């Protein structure tokens, strides 16, 4: 969005029946020519906190100028009282919200006979992110920002950065899939390799981060199941999330429902109508999870995400067995696209599923809020009506909005934050429901996310182990000599891997509450995977990455090994000193939250080494950062 400077001219005059020559069209009042007034001095791009000079040039063709009065008429007060001057210097208000500030000033030129000309100047002042605010936004809105990305974002407003990201073309993971060795088919490791390349190299970082969040809400997994042998299908599912990340939630819901990967994972692919003689009942798995986890949750919600209560103070269930059976009937008759028959399947894990009517239940289907699909509706008709019913349920806006806020911004959003985002989900301002681009934008621009005027004593969320490694690898240009990222057993090492949760409930539950936080009624979902084994494993991985696997520490590189390159940091340390490097790290890894205690600990660690041990100094500094409490919190 661009804000233009608007100059409104409102000259006050009465045309006289006499006076003035034919070549002079200056307005007159009772034969007195009105003053001429020209405004200048406004820069083309105005920024909050900036000091600007507003200039007025006034003249009078048949007399003299008695006064030029400036008076502010709207906006944050920067001119307390009218000023008589040809120019005024004003310092614009500081950024107290992301919203651009609108200012208006009236300028009145008065001549020696009392005639006046009035002009009004209107303009917007936008935010201009400093290094810390840019870093904070990019920590939230990317897979892990690089120093160059943070520097490029400085000077922009939050709105400008988000709009630019929303406009970028999609970097699909399928485009990064390559065969390994002499294989003729893609392998499991092919999709893992593609994931690393895409999240590290793509410039559409906001979309990559939102898709990653969606992959933890609309969960599929190839951990310990047959989907491990379907890397193309799994990558196609992830690309589906990328495609719809800024689209409409209704379209996303349908694409997920018809994905053969989801159909296999939650077993509605090949789901048949009831046959009492053969003891066949429609599978209820997807019917349950699409309601419980993907759209509405278990309990009726207020728009702020809090639970509605009945007259007895109890929560109110959103659905029961009748609705489960109704939706299970909806999801009958669907199988792999291009199948010869319902039973002779094509095993196409890429194309959306197709319906075979003879296996679709024609029975009445009970949906949410008492809606009914009568007997005799086709598979496609039933699907559309059922998904519309889900999409339009009153719970969807607060349920999905809160999930996204938790995955992107903070584990403990206030009800007011949830309600503001839910209202955007319900209506993007143009009457459209489910506009995810508008929802995502609102999530990031909310004052609670940007810390404007926040009165909270807690903010942010624990960083996911995988995302911490992504940031280090992106910053340090991690790569193997052969060009592959063959990272096996990620779940054992980090407690998570892309689309590798142990169940449809994700790696951690959104309401997970460690015992230490119960007194304050706070949750920390990511800590559910922070068991002893995972914590030790992650610390060991960081040490291996940042100390053992620095390319500068080796003369011969293993073709399959993944190395980080710290030469730039070594040069910075050598040329500019330890304090300069720590200032840089404070921006890059802490978004300004490095405490004095942490800084002193890093200085003490650095003092252990000889001055010329630049590689060791940088490696150990990075490792201590990786395990520091402040780095592990996305603030």
pLDDT above 80 for 3: no
Q: Quick check: 370 pLDDT over 50?
A: yes
Residues 87-116: what's their mean pLDDT? 96
pLDDT attached to residue 456: 66
What pLDDT, on a 0 to 100 scale, did the predictor assign at position 455? Answer: 60
Taking alpha carbons only, the member of 352, 343, 158, 155 closest to residue 240 is 352
pLDDT (tens digit per residue) in 149-180 = 999 999 999 999 999 999 999 999 999 999 98
pLDDT tens digits for 571-617? Answer: 999 999 999 999 999 999 999 999 999 999 999 999 999 999 999 99
Environment class of 2 (CB within 10 Å of its CB; exposed 0-12, middle 13-18, buried 19+): exposed
Q: What's residue 452's pLDDT?
A: 84
- How confident is the model over 181-187, as a mean pLDDT? 87
Q: What's the rounded Cα separation, in Å, for the pair 211 and 217?
A: 10
Could you tell me the CA-to-CA distances from 594 to 374, 599, 624 in Å, in that order? 61, 7, 12
CB distance 417 to 446 below 8 Å: yes
Residues 608-613: contacts with CB under 8 Å, at least 24 apart: none
Give the pLDDT confidence of 254-311 residue by residue, as tens digits. 999 999 999 999 999 999 999 999 999 999 999 999 999 999 999 999 999 999 999 9
The residue ranking higher by pLDDT, 17 or 94, is 94
Angle ∠(535,540,543) on CA atoms, nearest 5: 130
**Closest alpha carbon to 269 in 341, 173, 334:** 334
Mean local confidence (pLDDT), 87-99: 94
Residue 12: band (very low, low, confident or very high) from pLDDT cuts 50, 70, 90: very low
Residue-level pLDDT at 9: 39
Question: Which of the four pLDDT bands, split at 50, 70 and 90, describes residue 10?
Answer: very low
Highest mean predicted confidence (pLDDT) among 25-39, 125-139, 181-195: 125-139
Q: What secondary structure does DSSP assign to 558-581, as a single string?
A: -TT--BB--HHHHHHHHHH-HHHH
CATH fold for the domain made of 6-125: Immunoglobulin-like (2.60.40)
Alpha carbon distance 344, 379 (integer Å): 19
Instruction: Read off the pLDDT band of 25 (50, 70, 90).
Output: confident
pLDDT of residue 30: 85
So where are the chain's domains?
6-125, 248-394, 463-499+531-634
d(CA 216, CA 503): 11
Percent of residues, the chain, with pLDDT higher than 90: 92
Query: What residues contact 154, with CB distance under 8 A and at least 6 apart?
Result: 129, 130, 131, 134
Average pLDDT, the chain: 94
- The pLDDT, as a whole number, for residue 182 is 78
In the Cβ-directed half-sphere of 46, how many Cα atoms lie within 13 Å? 24
Render pLDDT for 436-481 as a digit per residue (tens, 0 to 9).
Answer: 999 999 999 999 999 887 666 678 999 999 999 999 999 999 999 9
pLDDT of residue 15: 31
pLDDT at 6: 43
Percent over 70 (pLDDT), the chain: 96
At 578 the pLDDT is 98
* Residue-level pLDDT at 459: 85
Q: Is the pLDDT of residue 555 over 80?
A: yes
The CA radius of gyration of the chain, in Å to the nearest whole number, is: 31
């Amino acid at each position: 969005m661009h804000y233009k400077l608007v100059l409104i001219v409102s000259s006050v005059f009465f045309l006289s029946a006499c006076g003035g020559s034919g070549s002079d069209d200056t307005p007159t009042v009772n034969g007195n020519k009105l003053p001429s007034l020209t405004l200048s001095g406004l820069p083309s791009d105005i920024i909050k906190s900036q000091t600007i000079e507003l200039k007025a040039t006034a003249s009078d063709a048949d007399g003299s100028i008695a006064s030029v009065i400036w008076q502010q008429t709207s906006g944050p007060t920067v001119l307390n009282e009218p000023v008589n001057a040809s120019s005024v210097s004003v310092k614009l208000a500081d950024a107290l919200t992301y919203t651009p500030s609108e200012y208006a000033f009236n300028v009145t030129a008065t001549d020696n006979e009392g005639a006046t000309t009035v002009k009004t100047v209107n303009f917007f002042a936008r935010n201009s992110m400093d290094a810390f605010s840019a870093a904070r936004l990019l920590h939230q809105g990317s897979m892990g920002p690089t120093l160059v990305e943070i520097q490029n974002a400085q000077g922009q407003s939050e709105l400008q950065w988000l709009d630019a990201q929303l406009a970028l073309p999609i970097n699909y993971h399928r485009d990064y899939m390559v065969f390994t060795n002499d294989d003729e088919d893609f392998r499991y490791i092919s999709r893992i390799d593609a994931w690393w390349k895409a999240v590290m190299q793509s410039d559409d970082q906001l979309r990559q981060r939102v898709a990653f969040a969606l992959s933890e809400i609309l969960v599929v997994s190839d951990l310990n199941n047959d989907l491990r042998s379907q890397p193309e299908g799994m990558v196609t599912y992830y690309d589906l999330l990328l495609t719809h990340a800024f689209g409409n939630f209704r379209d996303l819901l349908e694409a997920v429902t018809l994905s053969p990967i989801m159909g296999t994972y939650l077993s509605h692919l090949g789901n048949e109508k009831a046959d009492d003689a053969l003891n066949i009942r429609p599978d209820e798995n997807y019917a349950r999870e699409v309601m419980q986890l993907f759209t509405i949750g278990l309990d009726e919600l207020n728009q702020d995400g809090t639970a509605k209560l009945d007259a007895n103070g109890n929560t109110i269930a959103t659905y029961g067995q009748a609705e489960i059976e109704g939706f299970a009937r909806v999801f009958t008759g669907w199988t792999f696209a291009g199948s010869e028959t319902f039973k002779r399947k094509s095993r196409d894990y890429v194309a959306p599923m197709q319906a075979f009517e003879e296996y679709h239940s024609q029975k009445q289907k009970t949906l949410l809020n008492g809606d009914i699909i009568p007997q005799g509706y086709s598979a496609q008709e039933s699907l559309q009506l059922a998904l519309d019913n889900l999409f339009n349920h009153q719970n969807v806006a607060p349920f999905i909005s809160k999930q996204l806020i938790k995955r992107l911004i903070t584990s403990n959003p206030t009800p007011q934050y949830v309600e503001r985002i839910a209202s955007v989900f319900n209506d993007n301002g143009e009457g459209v429901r489910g506009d995810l681009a508008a929802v995502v934008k609102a999530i990031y621009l909310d004052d609670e996310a940007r810390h404007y005027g926040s009165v909270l004593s807690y903010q942010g969320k624990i960083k996911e182990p995988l995302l911490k490694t992504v940031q280090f690898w992106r910053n340090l240009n991690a790569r193997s000599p052969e060009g592959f990222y063959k990272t096996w057993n990620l779940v054992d090492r980090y407690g998570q891997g892309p689309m590798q949760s142990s169940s449809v409930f994700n790696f951690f539950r959104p309401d997970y509450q460690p015992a230490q936080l119960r007194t304050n009624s706070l949750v920390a979902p990511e800590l559910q995977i922070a068991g002893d084994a995972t914590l030790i494993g992650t610390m060991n991985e960081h040490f291996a990455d940042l100390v053992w696997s620095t390319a500068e520490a080796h003369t011969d590189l293993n073709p399959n090994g993944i190395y980080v390159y710290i030469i730039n940091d070594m040069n910075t340390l050598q040329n500019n000193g330890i304090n300069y490097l720590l200032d840089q790290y404070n921006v890059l890894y802490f978004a300004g939250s490095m405490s004095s205690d942490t800084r002193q600990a890093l200085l003490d660690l650095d003092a252990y080494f000889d001055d010329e041990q630049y590689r060791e100094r940088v490696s150990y500094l990075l490792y201590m950062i990786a395990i520091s409490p402040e780095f592990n919190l996305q603030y």
